[in-house]
Amino acid sequence: MRKIAIIGGTGIDNPDTLKGFEKKIIETPFGKALCNIGTMSGNQVVFVSRHGVDHSVPPHKVNYRANIWAMKSLGTEEIFATTAVGSLNPEMKAGHFVVCDNVLDFTKSRINTFYDSPERGVAHCDFTYPYCPTLREKVIKCLEKTDITFHKHGVYVCTEGPRFESAAEIKMFAMLGGDLVGMTNMPESILAREAEMCYTNCSIVTNMAAGISPTPLSHKEVCDAMALSIKNMEKLILSFIAYEEPTEAKCNCHHAMQEFGGFKL
């Protein structure tokens, strides 16, 4: 049995696929996390709505540590995260899916580690490749069986939010190699790595970024674009959960903190 967590981003807050799941509040050292727990395709599945079921939590206020800790405490081994993003890359258009393979972190005020206390000590986690290669391969193989337009590579630029980026910032991010811009993959991905869980992200492009888009950006535009892609994302999630084929890619995610004695709850 695989033990999978799905993190639903904007537009994937409360999918129909959760019917029959048990809502459970998990107590963690960092606060409470609301998890939906069930079984699909013979696998344990935990669903977490990143922004809350009513989308009331802005990206810079998400309790990333509580969410990741809760998933770990429930035995999660694989995390599939969804995100809505703007595009800096003219090849990545609205409605396209992108299986990201690296990240640029421009967040400012978020706590980005579990290792910041005398009790836990100091640890320096390798983050060369932020997204698990094994899970990326699974997602790509699932997408290859669909008619969804997708990209196998993409650099995710994570900004602080909640405001959208300036045109000058977008120009800088593009010069640095960024393809997409969003507000939630950090510190989520590094916390998952510290907690020794496999983590991957599939982004849905909702708009061209500031200075590239011919019109001012709005949250309504993002939500409207996501509404057109929700069914495709739900199908992808179901396919990912049911995936049984072997993968060529290997990872070290479950031993990422071995040098420091492994991650302990």
Two structure tokens written together for 186: 């950090």
Q: Which of 147, 138, 161 is nearest to 86 (CA)?
A: 161
Q: Which position has the token pair 């993409």? A: 154
Q: Is 80 exceeded by the pLDDT of residue 222?
A: no
121/70: higher pLDDT: 70
CA distance 182 to 203: 9
Is the distance from CB of 7 to CB of 78 less than 8 angstroms?
A: no
Residue 220: pLDDT band by 50, 70, 90 thresholds? Answer: confident
Annotated binding site for substrate: 183, 207-209
Residue 76: pLDDT band by 50, 70, 90 thresholds? Answer: very high
pTM: 0.94
3-state helix, strand, coil in the chain (%, to 5): 30, 25, 45
* CATH annotation of 3-260: 3.40.50.1580
Averaged pLDDT score across all residues of the chain:
92
How do the domains of the chain map onto residue ranges? 3-260
Q: Which of 137, 157, 113 is nearest to 246 (CA)?
A: 137
In three state form, how does the secondary structure of 159-186 look? Answer: ECCCCCCCHHHHHHHHHCCCCEEECCHH
Two structure tokens written together for 184: 């939630």
Q: Which of 154, 152, 181 is nearest to 166 (CA)?
A: 181
Annotated binding site for phosphate: 10, 50-51, 83-84, 184
Two structure tokens written together for 164: 């959208």
Give Cα 102 to chain centroid, integer Å.
12
pLDDT of res. 214? 77
Q: Is 90 exceeded by the pLDDT of residue 141?
A: yes
- Please write the tens of the pLDDT for every residue from 3-27: 999 998 766 666 566 678 899 999 9
List phi, psi (to 5°) of 78. Answer: -130, 135
Q: Which of 159, 150, 157 is nearest to 91 (CA)?
A: 150
- Please write the tens of the pLDDT for every residue from 20-72: 889 999 999 999 999 999 999 999 999 999 887 777 899 999 999 999 999 99
